[in-house]
Amino acid sequence: MTSSLDLEPKPAVIHIVRTRGDRIFRGILIVGGLISFLVLAGIFGYLAQSAAPILKAFGFQFFTDSSWYVGDGLLPSEGSMDPPIFGILPMLWGSVLIAIISVGIALPLGVGIALSIVYLIPKRAVFGLTVFIDLIAAIPSIIFGLWGFFVLIPHGVLWSAWLNEKLAFIPIFNVEFPAFEQSPFMAGLVLAIMITPIVAVVSRQIFSLVPPELINAAQALGGSRWTIIRDVVLPFSKGGIVGGAMLGIGRALGETVAVFFVLQLFFDEVNWYRILESSGGSVASLIIAKFGEASPLEVSALFAAGLALFVVTLLANAAAAVLVNSSKGKK
């Protein structure tokens, strides 16, 4: 005779009943995801096909060289007497450097704005501030570019000069020639203003999802407002904050017009870290500057540059997904 202690509990069987609306909604999501994947695959295929002549002629040197010379518009295999030289390393690194600068400025600003809206500002003022932040996020990039060129640069030159004077012992703020008008720092400032609303909107939505019982428990233990934000809200929301930051990086990597107005294209050498020097560039600004008067061969080189930027953006998004998933596992 078996006792009740020897009987193993049987797992409960949960029957999921999907209504017609659930099936339709699921189908829409699947179709939308497949269409998005096909569109991205089509863009990648078109860029790869258009860039194939340049990649075949220059190989990996296209990504490591620091020269952009059109020559006679013919490849050496086509009997060129003045062969072109195409390399995008300064522009490729410039895109990454500007994105790092912009996110480094926008992330604390966006997170601070989101925390203020959710936990600090009186409720009667939240609606107006939220609408204002959303409106800033919708401003076209050309407006930011013109504003940066005519308004921000005159003030940014003074800030750059102050940083160079007071913090020249730090390599990134040390410049050999004090010309600060069109530098990676200026471009990063403009992009930071553009992506701060994006970071703020995403962070605000994540902060509003923090379970109230966690906050109430921290208050019951005597935690102050800052302690609750530091030990409860930010750890719970770090995955969303990382996601918002990576969305900002994606916007910064692909921005064209705003960067074109406030950054000088410079090919002779790579500006690795001196963010105040009036030299640098980005892949997006290179494309918009060269495309209008480009020869067919140079157009192929610009497509190759776009392909490189496309791959970098995909890698940034993949890194964001990994960081978000890892942060979820550590909660």
Q: Does 28 lie in the same domain as 175?
A: no
Boundary of a domain, candidates 34, 58, 78 = 78
Say what the pLDDT of residue 209 is: 85
Q: Does 139 lie in the same domain as 40?
A: no
Q: Does 116 lie in the same domain as 141?
A: yes
Q: Is residue 4 part of a domain?
A: no
Q: For residue range 255-278, list pLDDT tens digits in order.
A: 777 777 777 777 777 777 788 887
| pTM for the model | 0.81
Query: Is a pLDDT exceeding 90 seen at residue 26?
Result: no
CA 171/CA 149 separation, integer angstroms: 26
Q: Which domain holds residue 287?
A: 89-329
Q: Does 69 lie in the same domain as 113?
A: no
Q: Look up the CATH number of the domain holding residue 292.
A: 1.10.3720.10
Q: Does 284 lie in the same domain as 212?
A: yes
Q: For residue range 212-244, list pLDDT tens digits in order.
A: 888 888 888 887 888 888 888 888 888 888 888
Q: For residue range 135-189, list pLDDT tens digits in order.
A: 887 788 778 778 887 888 888 888 888 888 888 888 888 887 777 777 888 888 8
Q: Does 135 lie in the same domain as 227?
A: yes
Q: Does 56 lie in the same domain as 96?
A: no
Which is nearest to 209 in space by CA: 331, 30, 32?
Answer: 331
Q: Mean pLDDT throughout 308-316?
A: 86
Q: Is residue 3 part of a domain?
A: no
Q: Does 215 lie in the same domain as 95?
A: yes
Q: Does 247 lie in the same domain as 165?
A: yes
Q: Is residue 178 part of a domain?
A: yes
Q: Does 93 lie in the same domain as 70?
A: no
Q: For residue range 46-105, list pLDDT tens digits in order.
A: 999 988 888 888 888 888 888 888 877 777 677 767 788 888 888 888 888 888 888 899
**Pair 287, 304: CB distance under 8 Å:** no
Q: Is residue 135 part of a domain?
A: yes
Question: Beta partners for 69?
Answer: 85
Query: Is a pLDDT exceeding 80 seen at residue 198?
Result: yes
Q: Does 140 lie in the same domain as 236?
A: yes
Say what the pLDDT of residue 70 is: 81
DSSP category for residue 150:
I
Q: Does 99 lie in the same domain as 29?
A: no
